[in-house]
Amino acid sequence: MILTLNLECLDQNIVKFYEQDSNKSLIQDALIHGYKIVNSSTYGLNFDNSNQDSIKKINILSTENSHLSQQIQDLESQILNLQTKQNLQIQENSQKLITQFNLQKIEQEDYYSKRETEKRTLFDTLLLCSQQQKTQELDDYKSQISNLNQQILLIKDSERNHYELKIHELQNKLDERNSIYSNSSKKGAEGENNIELVLNSLLPNAIINDTHTQSRSGDIRIELQGIQILYENKNFTNNVPKRDIDKFIRDVSESDVNCGIMCSENSGIANRNDLDIEILDGKPMIYLHNTKDNVDKIKIAIIILVNILQNNLELDTSMIQKIKDLVKETEEINKIYNSQKKHLNLMGEQNDKLVIHTRTIKYRLEEIISKCENSEFDERKQKCQHCSKFFMDLDKHIKKNHL
């Protein structure tokens, strides 16, 4: 016989027990014992007793549940009371804290207000003291400036008086010189004597000889640092003509001099610019215009020639142009100064500026001349950072000596 049962409603352990094939003998025993229990005379009694016990237990549990519910209600009531008390206590404490905070806030505001008042008072006091001190210092500075201005005025007056005397002396000498130059018979001899004096003044360490009586030797022979210079001086009203220029070039070429200078005291030179340089058979020659107005050009030209020959320098047109520009500027300054010297009392401030400007130009000229005298100077040369010397080909020098 095959018995089919729906076991899903039973306990899972019972279901597993009946599903295992290994439990067939046990299942058979269980069915037999179950049958005996169900068909016994005490099975119904036991079932009734079990129900009565369950009812009693349910009643007891119900009673206990009622007691517990009552206890829960009591506890909830107590909790509510405690929460109410706690909230009241919190509110009371919060109010106390707020009151205390407000009091502290007021105290802090009063304290900071006092501090700010004290700071403001202290700041105002310090500011007043500082203002008074600065005012005193300003007054002292004003007093010092006033004293310095007085000293400057005194120095200016002293300088003005000094230069007025100098100008007066120069004016007298100029009048004497004009009177000499107005006499044509004295003009030539005086010009030669004058240029020799000028050269001796400009070149105190040079040997200067009058050679105007010697053929093809120019007016004056200058020897400076071993360099022989033929000096030709012209005192013409008009520009020096071509025939005199050709004679000068021939004298330089055929004599034993190293170089030559042609100067025109009161005019230009035909087909030549001021400070133009020519080289013939390795002998450089310089042409100078209006040297009477600016004798410093003569010294500059001599220094240029000496440096070219001593250092075997190539002509640097940019350097010559710079010197030309500076010479022209000094000539303009001298013209302005000469035109204003009779009105020195009215033009004192302008003359002071011109003197300062002239000194600046002189310094720049001396700087350029100093560079020319330095054998290492050449704008095309570069300075070596290792040995501080100048070289035309700096890369080659570094590779050869420093790498």
Domain coverage including residue 273: 187-315
- The proportion of the chain whose per-residue pLDDT surpasses 70, expressed as a percent, equals 75
Six token digits for residue 140: 């002292």
Domain boundary residue, one of 315, 338, 356: 315
Backbone angles phi, psi at 289, to 5 degrees: -100, 145
What are the tens digits of pLDDT across the range 68-98? 888 888 898 889 989 899 999 999 988 999 9
CATH of the domain at 214: 3.40.1350
Instruction: Give the relative orientation of helices 296-311 and 348-373 as an angle to the nearest 10 degrees.
Output: 10
Overall domain count for the chain: 2
- Asked whether the beta carbons of 243 and 271 are under 8 A apart, the reply is no
DSSP annotation of 314 reads P
Shared-domain flag, residues 280 and 396: no
Residues of the chain scoring pLDDT < 70: 1-11, 38, 40-51, 177-193, 314-320, 323, 327, 337-338, 340-355, 357-358, 361-381, 391-392, 403
Alpha-carbon gap, residue 269 to 278, rounded angstroms? 14
Task: Name every residue whose Cβ is closer than 8 Å to that of residue 15 and which is 6 or more positions away in sequence.
Answer: 7, 8
Task: Name every residue whose Cβ is closer than 8 Å to that of residue 191 and which is 6 or more positions away in sequence.
Answer: 233, 235, 265
Shared-domain flag, residues 302 and 323: no
pTM (two decimals): 0.41
What are the tens digits of pLDDT across the range 303-312? 989 988 888 7
3-state helix/strand/coil string of 10-76: CCHHHHHHHHCHHHHHHHHHHHHHHHHHHCCCCHHHHHHHHHHHHHHHHHHHHHHHHHHHHHHHHHH
Q: Is residue 9 part of a domain?
A: no
